Amino acid sequence: MRVISGEARGRPLKAVPGQTTRPTTDKVKEALFSMIGPYFDGERVLDLFAGTGGLGIEALSRGAGHAVFVDANMRSIEVVRANLAATRFEAKAEVFRQDAVKAIKLLEQRGAGPFELIFLDPPYAMKNCDELLLELAARGLANEDTVAVIEHESGFEYGEKIGGYERRRLATYGETAVSIYRSIDTEENI
C-alpha cells in the first residue's frame, strides 16, 4: 500500500496487523480518485471507517485541506497516526477512536461539518451505509456539496437514491464495489 498521487506520492503506508481490516487496493483507490477528483482544493474530508487511513490520506495528498479519521479499532487508530506521521499530514488531521454512530454525534456537537467528501468503507458485513449517510445529512455533516463514497462488496448494492443523494457512479473491481453519491439537486456529474 502506498500513496498514489499528489504531495506524498509514493510514500508507503502501514497495514493494520491481522485480518480485521481490508485496505482499499491501490488499483481501486486509483480508479476511485479518478472518478471523484483527481485533485482537490482545500476540501474537508471524513474517513468514517478509516482502517489504515489510506483514503483520507490520499485525499490530503491530492489537495484536501483537512481530514477527520474515525475507527473503533485501537490498532487501526495507531496505524492511521503512524501513516499520518509518515506522510507529514498530522497538522491537517484529527483522529478519533470511536464507533461510527457515536462519532457522528460527536462531530455534530463539535460543529465539524459539513464535509465535502465522505468515505464510508466499513467491514463488508455491515450494510448500513445508507442509514449512516442519512444520519450524516440530518446532523449537518453532509450537504448538497458533499460527495459520499461507499465501498462495499460487489454482491451487495445500495439503492439508486439515499434520501437527498443519488448514485452517480457504480464501479465493480472483483469482490469490491464503489458507489458514489451526490446531492440530487447538484447538476455536476461524477
Q: What is the pLDDT of residue 188?
A: 67
Q: What is the model's pTM?
A: 0.94
Instruction: State phi, psi for 31 to the nearest 5 degrees.
Output: -65, -45
3-state SS string over 125-178?
CCCCHHHHHHHHHHCCCCCCCCEEEEEEECCCCCCCEECCEEEEEEEEECCEEE
Q: What is the reported pLDDT for 18?
A: 73
Q: Cα separation of 24 and 1, whole Å?
A: 9
Per-domain residue ranges of the chain: 26-121+137-183
d(CA 161, CA 71): 26
pLDDT confidence bin for 189, thresholds 50/70/90: low
Q: Residue 190 pLDDT > 80, yes or no?
A: no
Structural class in CATH, domain 26-121+137-183: alpha beta
Q: pLDDT tens-digit profile of 120-177? A: 999 888 999 999 999 999 999 999 999 999 999 999 999 999 999 999 999 999 999 9
